Structure 1
Amino acid sequence: MNTPIDPPASALARDAHWAAKMARLKARQLPERSLRLCDDEHAKKAVTDTALALAKARTQARSESIEQGVLEAEREEWILSRPAVVAEQLELDDAERALEEATVVLTFRALPRPAWEQLLREHPPTEAQADQGMEYNVETYPAALIAACHIERDESGGEVPGMRGQEAQELLDAWPDSEAKALFTCALLVNQTLRADLGKG
């Protein structure tokens, strides 16, 4: 009866090393990209104005710290403690919260490659579009991609049902051309952004 031969320690180490790396590769999350929409010009201006006021307060406080001989290592903490800086920071925090409440955020997640290719097969270009070099039907594919990539989360962060294809088409038809293009582009780019460094060959 032959006695099993244990693999050499180097082989075991190599297998464990690769298994760990493969686990990391499989655990990678699909990339996400968000489109932020805000029609409240007052809220946007308030953030700009309060950020400018805070910058001025910090500049004034920095000048005072130099005049009073505050050490460089202690200067930032000293500046942050000045009443005018504290007040302007609070104003900015309030303005940013108001802007966040007035902003609608649409988040898109890249599709796994098989799903991406399947979506292209479901929306092939017309003969005329193919002659122009299009790889998909420009009339039907944008809404389908937007709906397929859109993800919605509730207040606890859990995923809930999101945009349907018909709803995506309604937005594309109702919005100005620039905003409709931004909506489609956001869903498209999240699938085309490379998160890898190809190195120096």
Structure 2
Amino acid sequence: MSRPAPAKRPSPPRGESSAEGAWAAKMDRLRRRARPQNKLRVCDDDQLRTRVEAAEQGAQRARFIAEATPADELAAQRAAEAEAIAETVRAELDDASDFLTFLALPRPVLEELIAAHPPTEQQAEEGAVFNPDTFPAALISAASFDGMSQDEAAELLASWSAPDANLLWEAAWQVQQESRVDLGKG
């Protein structure tokens, strides 16, 4: 006994096919979005950081003067020279720096990590959502693009100065809060 041939589905109207294709392309782009990143610069050369700041301020002043006097070719030349100096010093700073890169975690991964580090009863009474003694090192490690382990993160948090340790924590935490979408715009 032979089976009847399956019924063919009617082709969608032209407009639907085009809309479906546009939606499929949009969904593909949405799936391929890169996760937000945050970089923390670590540089112990205070003199170099001071030189960068001075060069950037000098370039900004020269740019302001050049913009205020558009007919002044010498001012435009000075602005270009000041910007070139600032770029050179910024490149020196980049070469003298180490960078730690942190990526936003997918929402379920972040939620699991928070759940794995619940606050103590006292911390919860104070409004904590996670255990501030264990969660920071776990998040820093999980978000580290560079492969920092949880033990290494805990070591840095314990051995760095309070401001530097806070910046390390903030670099990993802030990227988890970054939004790159807008409501009602477009």
- Is 1:94 aligned to 2:88, yes or no? yes
Number of residues of Structure 1 aligned to a counterpart in Structure 2: 179
Q: 1:54 to 1:130 in 2, by over 3 A?
A: closer
**Aligned to 2:105, what secondary structure does the other structure show?**
coil
TM-score by length of 2: 0.80
Deviation of 1:164 after TM superposition, in Å, equals 0.4
- Is 1:134 aligned to 2:128, yes or no? yes
The letter of the residue matching 1:48 is E
**What corresponds to 1:79 in structure 2?**
76
Deviations 1:42-97 (A, max 9, x none): 1112223344555677759x97x63xxxxxxxx59x934xxx66765554343222
Write out aligned runs for 1:103-142 (5 A): 103-142=97-136
TM-score by length of 1: 0.75
- Is 1:37 aligned to 2:36, yes or no? no
Q: 1:14 to 1:39 in 2, by over 3 A?
A: same
**Aligned to 2:102, what secondary structure does the other structure show?**
strand
**Structure 1 residues without counterparts, runs of 5 or longer:** 67-74, 153-161
- Is 1:189 aligned to 2:183, yes or no? no
**Structure 2 residues without counterparts, runs of 5 or longer:** none
The letter of the residue matching 1:113 is R
Deviations 1:145-175 (A, max 9, x none): 00100112xxxxxxxxx21000100111111
**What corresponds to 2:27 in structure 1?**
22
- Is 1:174 aligned to 2:159, yes or no? yes
Q: 1:166 to 1:197 in 2, by over 3 A?
A: same
RMSD: 2.9
* Aligned-partner Cα distance in 2 for 1:182–1:32: 15
**Aligned to 2:38, what secondary structure does the other structure show?**
strand
